[in-house]
Amino acid sequence: MDFDLGEEQVMLKTSARDFLDKECPKKLVRDMMDDDKGYSPELWRQMADLGWHGLAFPEEYDGVGSSFLDLTVLLEEMGRALVPGPFVSTVVYAGRTILAAGNEEQKQRFLPAIAGGETIMTMALLESSGDLEPSGIAVTASPSGQDFVINGTKLFVPDAHIADHLICVARTKDGTGEDGISLFLVDAKSEGLRVEVLSTMTGEKLCEVTFSGVTVPGSNLLGKLNGGWPVVRNLLDEAIVGECAWMMGGARWALETSVDYAKEREQFGVPIGTFQAIQHKLANVAVEVEGATSIVYYAAWAIDENDPGKTLAASVAKTWCSDTYKHATFEGIQVHGGIGFTWDHDMHLYFKRAKSSQVAFGDADYHRERIAQLLDV
């Protein structure tokens, strides 16, 4: 029995923190909020050189061959640093999907390029309903000779404006259920594909992607025709746990920053951290963050082991982390008082991210209902 990070994972965590403290200061994070691309090509290159992009890919695709848990540890530190850019879109949403469902030719074509930092990718999943279930997929892909023609509009697609390729989740058969959904690798320069960047509270680049008769060769079908939903389902488990790691890292930053402030800030002649009203607030956050760390590592372990309980574990983690990150940053602002409410203090960057992560891949209410179903309540 040994349930915590191993020596090498602790080293990865420490070196990632040191690197990001230096190379991803808050100035960069703030600059990228207003930047058209939304990421620093220089930082992108450095992270690829460190082997981060290919960390969880097998060595035959130029990866490092590390576990999903290792990637989780890295995402925790990236969430703590609020690393701007398409890392998760490229590595998790696209990379892990290709790894799980791609044929050998597709894996060889995309995975080494991702690992090398040479390409940016994303997944176009959600549509106007915001629905995470199969019923939310209405974009169609109709066969035309050897090709497919895609029509419809995707929403909330992260980083599509800089992506070289997108994985589009589309209907290849009439209906609203799981059956008849397929995945396609789409060249972002395809004729008929239009990307419009939406303005967000966090500065993350979410896009509307319109497909007007976009032609995709049949060889770009990812996985089985009409059998795409199980692939999406599997990816969602990984995306959820990745998001949770990101959230947990941010929540811990908010906790530590608030604790530090409460030790220094004096009112009534004493540090405000001596007041029980402040102590108990922060103790509550500490309980939540400790819990988040434990459940996220467990959920990542379940993915590595392909444990039958992994979907349940992912939902449990997302429920917990959605609440934890929100509480950590809400209380973070409150403990900081007026300073916490300013644009200059960094707390709002985390606070806003907490609200956006809360709804990403389903909020706590959504996952509680899913847990109820999985437990056969």
Partner 1 sequence: MDFSYTPEEETFRDELKQWLTMHMKELPEWYGRRDIAGPDVDSQEYHDFSVWWHRKLYDAGFVGITWPKEYGGRGGTIMEQVIFYEEIARHRAPGLSNAHGIGWCGPAILAHGSEEQKKRYLPKILSAEEIWCTFYSEPEAGSDMANVQTRAVDGGDHWVVNGQKVWSSGAHVADWGVLLVRTDPEVRKHRGISYLFLDMKTPGITVSPLRNITGTAEFNEAFFDNVRIPRDQVIGEVNMGWYVAAGALEFERSSAGTAIARENSVKGIIRLAKEMGHNGDPMVRQKLAQLYVETMVLKYMALRGLTHELREGRPGPQGAVSSVFSMEFNQRLQDLAMEIQGPYSRLVRGSKHAVDHGRWQHDFLRSRGNTIETGTSEIKRNIIAQRVLGLPRQ
Kindly list the residues in this chain that would bind partner 1 in the complex (CB under 8 A): 1-6, 69, 259, 262-263, 270-271, 273-276, 278-280, 282-284, 286-287, 290-295, 297-298, 301, 313, 316, 319-320, 365, 367-369, 371-372, 375, 377
- Residue closer to partner 1 (CB basis): 206 or 248: 248
Please state the closest distance from residue 261 (CB atom) to partner 1, in A: 11
- Residue closer to partner 1 (CB basis): 8 or 60: 8
Measured CA to CA, the distance from residue 348 to residue 105 in angstroms comes to 44
Measured CA to CA, the distance from residue 133 to residue 148 in angstroms comes to 23
Please state the closest distance from residue 241 (CB atom) to partner 1, in A: 13
**375: helix, coil or strand?**
coil
User: What is the number of alpha carbons within 13 Å of residue 139 lying toward its C-beta?
Assistant: 29
Strands 147-158 and 140-144: antiparallel
- Residue closer to partner 1 (CB basis): 6 or 218: 6
**Residue 201, CA distances (Å) to 14, 329, 351, 357 in order:** 30, 15, 10, 12
- Residue closer to partner 1 (CB basis): 19 or 330: 330
- Residue closer to partner 1 (CB basis): 42 or 369: 369
Please state the closest distance from residue 244 (CB atom) to partner 1, in A: 12
Sign of the dihedral defined by the CA atoms of residues 60, 63, 64, 69, in that order: negative
Residues 62 and 116 sit within 8 Å (Cβ to Cβ): yes
Measured CA to CA, the distance from residue 241 to residue 298 in angstroms comes to 10
Please state the closest distance from residue 234 (CB atom) to partner 1, in A: 21
DSSP per-residue string spanning 258-279: HHHHHHH-EETTEEGGGSHHHH
Please state the closest distance from residue 9 (CB atom) to partner 1, in A: 8
**151: helix, coil or strand?**
strand
Please state the closest distance from residue 324 (CB atom) to partner 1, in A: 10
Sign of the dihedral defined by the CA atoms of residues 231, 234, 240, 246, in that order: negative
**Residue 130, CA distances (Å) to 41, 171, 255, 305, 372 in order:** 31, 16, 31, 31, 21
Please state the closest distance from residue 361 (CB atom) to partner 1, in A: 16
- Residue closer to partner 1 (CB basis): 160 or 364: 364
- Residue closer to partner 1 (CB basis): 172 or 315: 315
